[in-house]
A and B are shown apart, each in its own frame.
Chain A
Amino acid sequence: MICQTILLALRAIRRNVLRSSLTILGIVIGVAAVITMVTLGDGATAQVTADISRLGSNMLQVRPGQGFRGPGGTRSTADMFEVDDAEAISREIFGLEAVAPTASRSQQAIYGNKNWSTSVMGTTNAYLQVRDWGLESGRQFTEGELRSGRTVCILGSTVRDELFGDQDPLGATIRLKKLSCQVIGVLESKGQTGFGHDQDDIVMVPLRTLQRRIAGNTDVDAIYVSAHEGISTNAVKEDIEAVMRERRRTAPGEDDNFHVRDMQEIVSTLTSTTRVLTGLLGAVAAVSLLVGGIGIMNIMLVSVTERTREIGTRLAIGALEREVLMQFLIEAVVLSSFGGLFGIILGLLAAAAGAHVLGMPFVLNPGIVAIAVVFSAAVGVIFGYFPARKAARMDPIDALRHE
């Protein structure tokens, strides 16, 4: 009986290809939207995680102010660090690989008639070690250059491209503000972070050069610390907090006026953010799936009205109530399953294309595909049931008389 009912349903669908395809369009779009959104969201999460692990999971950042602790925080009123702070951390804490004090300013970089707004960072060679960042060409700063604050710089690859194009920048002199600076090296390209921040848009100079010649003070904005392999970043974090509280003379019971972030914290913050975004987009897409389901119900209801005489004929020929019910139900389920199938194909193609355009990894989530299949079939059953029941319970005479 099931076989013959499926046959009847397939014949009924084939008889009206246009109406059938319009019916499933809603489901196709709904399923495709859900799959695209969730797949892209998963890709973004994967990329953020990968980016951060590339930053180095053994890296810590020490910044003045209370960091993320509250809206506004106290960052602006907290004292900046000094180079001494970085030296104290490096001297007093066990298990550190490198400690890099940094200070940054936004600045125009000028070479010939080219002009590029970038971020100038004053630091030491230790920063390259902390970030695990190699040089594409040229050399690092020398001890002498660092100590005396010489006007030399290392370019990020974006700045190199913008100012020099294909030319070799080594030995050339660029201007930062009124400061002429000789290019001694070019950094390897690190690409964008998960949020589209270009890490290669940077010019590095010795910390002392930035402090004296550009910023005009002796402040250190942030200290980057990397722990040795196998050393707990949590322990290092506590040690740094103890050292800094002492150095900044924070009274017991008083809140820290600085903040130590380790990468685990950043990872969890960022991935939870992208998860929330994925969930939100998925929810919006799910609404469109629901609307698609209601579309199926509408079409099925119209179809019952339109096919009243047909139902009457079937009943007169000897179709049972449950056979008519099954026929309409199977029609709805087949339609929405087809819709689900096309939706999955379309959604995966769109997600693959989107991931390609956005330069993100394509992460296939079998769970969401399964959910989409189940949901579209369920939509067929639920929204197909009521019109089908209406059709099956019709009085054959009334149905035959229907115009």
Chain B
Amino acid sequence: MNTESGKHHLIELARIAKTYGMGAYAMHALRGIDLHIDKGEFVAVMGPSGSGKSTCLNILGCLDTPTSGAYLFEGEDVGKLSRDQRALLRRHFLGFVFQGFNLLNRTSALENVELPLIYRSASAHKRHRRGREALEAVGLTGWESHTPSELSGGQQQRVAIARAMVTNPEVLLADEPTGNLDSTCSREIMELLCAFNKERGITIVMVTHDLEMARYAQRTIRFLDGLIDSEEPNGGKRS
């Protein structure tokens, strides 16, 4: 679809395997998968529990390292990066949205959204401006000073999305972003993600259990027992 990246894909996984434990107790989470994702794509990852989809997302997010295989991010071999270099890669190119929101308690929505900017050494003025803009983009203007406990689940996830989007990342990695939300909220969140994908060209990789949510994506990848079972494009609900 979108092939702006030219020669190479944005993300390329080659025979990625991940094994937990040793010997007889070894658990093979991934058994050698090949996968490529292009810039601007919206990919849904599905599969039963234990099929390796979350492990794959963690590897994509540079939170975990594969036991074997190669991971190229914009042609760069992530496997050769140190722990700190992987952190810097996350800081500058990746955004995360989690099922459990993972907002800081007793911290205002605005300060939560500003957090990644602090690690980017942005000035206070710039932080506030971009934080407000990000909250506005997820429709939470007026809720800046509320803490997570004062917000509904849907609102909390919006804050989390604003936090992920405030740095304008290359890739947004979402691990079951609607897993804790009701269907109305879920649809709103998905509309939001679709909008970011379409308007800002942000690549999104989303793990989900929910077929309806997966339909928002352009492509669905199904995992089974640590291998990719099927890959299919879907026109789905995208307008």
Contact = CB atoms under 8 A, between A and B. Distances in A.
A11 B110 CA distance: 13
Chain A binding surface, main DSSP class: helix
A310 B163 CA distance: 14
A316 B90 contact: yes
Contact of A317 (B107, B115, B121): B115
B60 to A, nearest CB: 12
A15 interface: yes
A251 interface: no
A318 B107 CA distance: 19
Interface stretch (A71-79, A140-148, A319-327, A349-357): A319-327
A1 B120 CA distance: 9
Interface string A44-57: 00000000000000
Contacts of B118: 4, 7-8
A320 B121 contact: no
Contacts of B91: 317-319
A95 to B, nearest CB: 78
A150 B28 CA distance: 114
Contacts of A316: 61, 63, 90, 96, 102
Interface in B61-90: 61, 63-64, 83-84, 87-90
B12 interface: no
A310 B58 contact: no
B63 A11 contact: no
Of A8, A318, A319, A320, chain B has the most CB atoms within 10 Å of the CB of A318
Contacts, number: 66
A313 interface: yes
Contact of A11 (B87, B90, B92, B111): B111
A397 B83 CA distance: 13
Nearest to A313: B102
Interface string B45-68: 000000000000010010110000
A309 interface: yes
Contacts of B106: 15-16
B195 interface: no
A320 B84 contact: yes
A364 interface: no
Given A316-B61, A317-B119, A400 B87 contact: no
29 contacts: A1-B121, A11-B111, A15-B105, A15-B106, A309-B100, A309-B102, A312-B102, A313-B103, A315-B63, A316-B63, A316-B90, A316-B96, A316-B102, A317-B91, A317-B119, A318-B87, A318-B88, A318-B89, A318-B92, A318-B94, A318-B119, A319-B87, A319-B91, A321-B84, A321-B87, A322-B84, A397-B58, A397-B63, A400-B98
